[in-house]
A and B are shown apart, each in its own frame.
Chain A
Amino acid sequence: MKKRSCILLAALFLLPSLLPILSGCADDTVELRVYSWEEYIDEGGEGALIYDELHLTDEETGEAVSSDLIGDDYKAWYEDATGTPLSEEGPAILEDFELWYAKTYPDRPRVKVKYSTFGTNEDMYNKIMLGKEYDLLCPSDYMIMKLAAEGRLTPYDEDFFLTEGEGSEYNYYAKNVSPYIDGVFESGKVTISDKDESSEHSWREYAAGYMWGTTGFVYNPVYVDRAELEELGWNAFTHKDYRNKITAKDNVRDTYFAALGVTYQEELKAIEGDNAKLTEIFNRTEEKYIPDVRAKLLEMKGNIYGFETDTGKTDLASGKIWLNYAWSGDAVYVMSLAEEENNAELDYYVPEAGSNLWFDGWVMTKSVEKRNTKHAAQAFVNFLSMPENAMRNSYYIGYTSAIGGEKMFDYASYLYADDEAEDPVEYDLKYFFGEDLDAVLTADRADTLHGQLFAQYPSLSTIDRCAVMNYFDAETSKRINELWAQVKAEKLDAWAITVLAVAAAVIVLGAVFAKFGHKIDFFRRKPKKGYTLVDQKDPIRL
């Protein structure tokens, strides 16, 4: 009996390791290799929308409450889409996709998603350069442009963008993407040079939006006066009132962008409604601009608390700092964290002069054609673009989805609409959700000006003044990185370097001398008269 159960156990342990081999052999499965950010997709379980909504309890009585969002309609939709009933424990979206794909395309081979993650765009790029093959990537704006310009991407099929007629049945991306995001993607251009000819393409051909947002300051209103902050704008970085109380990002692109804001704030403010001009200023990377920006960067470095990549959120929540330059998605996260854990208020501010518009999007590499995964890759993007799934991802990550439409507006209303607010205002989000929808939220005035709603869905007047920062080509990249190195480096005067170099040389020479000096006759102590020098190593010879 014992022996038998041992064998059974061993077999059980071995089974999972055999499964990939077995399924790999079968012809009817393709592997879709997805490479995306860490924590950037609904992984199910606690903290995911479905679990949280299905486990709602009444605050006073502690009894279970039924959810408006994940009600019977949603359950029916889910069962219809995946062919399985909705689990109370909250399913992971990747598994849902595999089920949905098998059910929707029964004639096609099944898809198995192999999902891996990266920490920065540069990590991802380096990994690809080393020859790792992925089908679907989720880089940020500038990295999409860089990959496209280098000819590493496969465009989406024309059918992918059909919104009606034959073949458009499952085009959830084309049908649901926010008109605003679609417009940005259509007007954004990238030049692709292919051996002898170069052609201009819009981003839309290569990328499907996933998450997007702005950059700005999350601040603690207890210490920071909103009126003063509005007065200062980007100059908050260099103002003495915020000395040691404000952080910048520890990466060259974000801090360079901020420094451009600081340097050219007056020029930016003078512009009225000309986004192209704003974009030009926020992309000033030519040699002639470097000295001014360098001076401002050094001034910023002297004034700020520090450069951070991740500590800013906790430092702000714990009160170490007052202002944190952040991406809107992180802003929403830290604002809700402060609200839930400390019952404290944090606000979000985007400089009036203009700020950064960023987005992450799905792009297909060249390997989709080689590995025959293009259909699966496009289906994956479409699946994530179904509003039912977009809200799950948005909820899990805390960032703003690029998907608009009625259902997503309902989701936004569910989160932020407040009819009983003390000071209710109408917040117009038609630009994002669609002009033909009545996408006007009634919400608390404060929330629409500097709260989570504003961070999640900025007003049209704010977003009109936001610019995308282009990718740096090889030459620009070298120039900006040199600048960054100079800013980050410790400044030592020429004399200090000389003194250190001389000291080092003296030490080296001294050590060499101490070691080998006695071997050179010249430095040997001469024996006294009448004495002979004895080789100490060989005294017996005497």
Chain B
Amino acid sequence: MKAPRFSRKTLCIPYAVFLLFFVIAPMLVILVYAFTDRNMHFSFGNFIDFFSDPSKLSTIAYSVVIALITTVACLVIAFPVAYILARSKMKKKFVIVLLFVLPMWINFVLRINAIRELFNWIGLLGQANYFNTVFGMVYDFLPFMILPLYTTMLKIDDSLYEACSDLGGSWFTSFTRITLPLSKPGLLSGVTMVFLPSMTNYVVSDMLGNSKVTIIGKFIYEYFESDWHMGSMVALILLIVVFVSTLLSGGLKSEENVRGANL
């Protein structure tokens, strides 16, 4: 008797079912709610409302700005760290990498609460809501920037640097010609992993900004308390923003996919 053979197609079924029920179906539900009114009749009302209300447009613009600042701050901190760690000859550097990753193993709400107490102790809480929010985001998302950068930089062949200096290239040349272009995939995935969640992570803005800083994630949450249709519309628009920015950063290119594999 022949053993039953599983073709790739049959092995795909569980994933297909999962995708259907937990990804595609919910998105369709959001789509339906976004383009219907209270009586479930088709309507563009929510769409028009969204783009004619300055408060919604400013909130989404603000979220983008906060996410941008967070991303840049993460990049400024993470790039040198990743570079130094990847290029240095020191032993046991995994310990340092571990130290950067370690906070991720502790419950996120707990960490944000701890920062809240810390800020209160310094006297910043309630005084500088925007700074606190961005600080919290950077603190929370930093590992997501460091890890992909570090892993791509680690893969850069040393001989490239040797060749560069043999041919008289300065440190600057080797950085711009070797490090930067070759770490681009890590850079892109790091940026994607920081930029996108920091537009919606309203736990940070609520806790550290005393709910006075409103980002788009909180907006969606509040709409879902009273009006699912408008909430779905905001969620849909956010989805489009996210999709476009992922497309732009090349996050959909399969060959360059190096998302922090050793998280």
Contacts and interface: CB of A to CB of B under 8 A. Distances in A.
Interface stretch (B138-146, B166-174, B177-185, B218-226): B218-226
B59 A489 contact: yes
Contacts of B210: 247, 305-308
A325 to B, nearest CB: 13
A507 interface: yes
A307 B222 CA distance: 13
A489 B214 contact: yes
Contacts of B218: 488
Given A485-B222, A507-B248, A301 B57 contact: no
Nearest to B120: A320
Interface stretch (A178-186, A439-447, A475-483): A475-483
B58 A488 contact: no
Contact of B211 (A120, A250, A252, A484): A250
Interface string A136-148: 0000000000000
21 contacts: A252-B226, A305-B210, A306-B129, A306-B209, A306-B211, A307-B211, A477-B227, A478-B227, A481-B222, A485-B59, A486-B55, A488-B218, A489-B55, A489-B214, A490-B62, A490-B213, A490-B214, A491-B55, A500-B61, A501-B61, A507-B248
Given A307-B212, A500-B65, A491 B58 contact: yes
Given A122-B225, A320-B126, A494-B54, A485 B219 contact: yes
Interface residues on B, range: 35 or more
Contacts of A481: 222-223, 226-227
B52 to A, nearest CB: 11
Contacts of A500: 61, 64-65
Contact of A320 (B38, B125, B224, B248): B125
B96 to A, nearest CB: 35
A488 B222 contact: yes
Interface in B46-78: 53-59, 61-62, 64-65
B127 interface: yes
Interface string B187-220: 0000000000000000000110111111000110
B244 interface: yes
Nearest to A318: B120
A484 B222 contact: yes
Given A307-B212, A474-B38, A482-B53, A508 B58 contact: no
Q: Which residue, of A320, A489, A491, has the highest number of chain B Cβ atoms within 10 A?
A: A489
A244 interface: yes
B126 A305 contact: yes
Interface of A is mostly: helix
Contacts of B61: 492, 496-497, 500-501
Contacts of A76: none
B45 to A, nearest CB: 10
Contact of A306 (B126, B219, B222): B126
Contact of A488 (B64, B65, B214, B228): B214
B126 A489 contact: no
Given A306-B211, A308-B210, A320-B120, A490 B58 contact: yes
A56 interface: no
Contacts of A501: 61
Interface in B124-158: 125-127, 129
A65 interface: no
Interface of B is mostly: helix
Interface in A206-253: 244, 247, 250-252
A344 interface: no
Contacts of B226: 122, 252, 477, 481
B211 A308 contact: yes
Nearest to A512: B248
Interface in B6-51: 38
Nearest to B125: A320
A415 interface: no
Contacts of B59: 485, 489-490
B219 A508 contact: no
A290 B54 CA distance: 17
A494 B61 CA distance: 11
A295 interface: no
A307 B228 CA distance: 23
A244 B124 CA distance: 11
Contact of A489 (B120, B127, B219, B244): B219
Nearest to A511: B248
Interface in A99-157: 120, 122, 126
Contacts of A494: 54
Contacts of B213: 490
Nearest to B65: A500
Contacts of A478: 227
Contacts of B211: 250, 306-308
B132 to A, nearest CB: 11
A301 B214 contact: no
A508 B222 contact: no
A491 B55 CA distance: 7
Given A320-B125, A486-B53, A491-B58, 11 more contacts: A251-B225, A252-B226, A311-B207, A482-B53, A485-B219, A485-B222, A489-B59, A492-B57, A497-B58, A500-B61, A504-B64
Interface in B72-129: 120, 125-127, 129
Interface string A291-312: 0000000000100111110010
Nearest to B212: A306
B227 to A, nearest CB: 6
B210 to A, nearest CB: 2
B120 A497 contact: no
A504 B65 CA distance: 11
A489 B38 contact: no
B231 to A, nearest CB: 10
Contacts of B64: 500, 504
Q: Sorted from nearest, which 5 A-B pairs have the closest CB atoms?
A: A306-B210, A492-B58, A489-B55, A307-B211, A490-B62
A231 to B, nearest CB: 25
Q: Which residue, of A306, A477, A490, has the highest number of chain B Cβ atoms within 10 A?
A: A490
Given A307-B210, A491-B58, A508 B248 contact: yes
Contacts of A484: 222
Nearest to B209: A306
Nearest to A477: B226
A489 B58 contact: yes
A342 B248 CA distance: 56
Contacts of A485: 53, 55-56, 59, 219, 222-223
B195 to A, nearest CB: 12
Q: Which residue, of B207, B218, B226, has the highest number of chain A Cβ atoms within 10 A?
A: B226
A244 B126 contact: yes
A485 B226 CA distance: 12
A311 to B, nearest CB: 8
B126 to A, nearest CB: 5
A500 B241 CA distance: 14
Contact of A120 (B127, B219, B225, B244): B225
A481 B49 CA distance: 13
Q: Which residue, of A247, A491, A492, has the highest number of chain B Cβ atoms within 10 A?
A: A492
Contacts of B120: 320
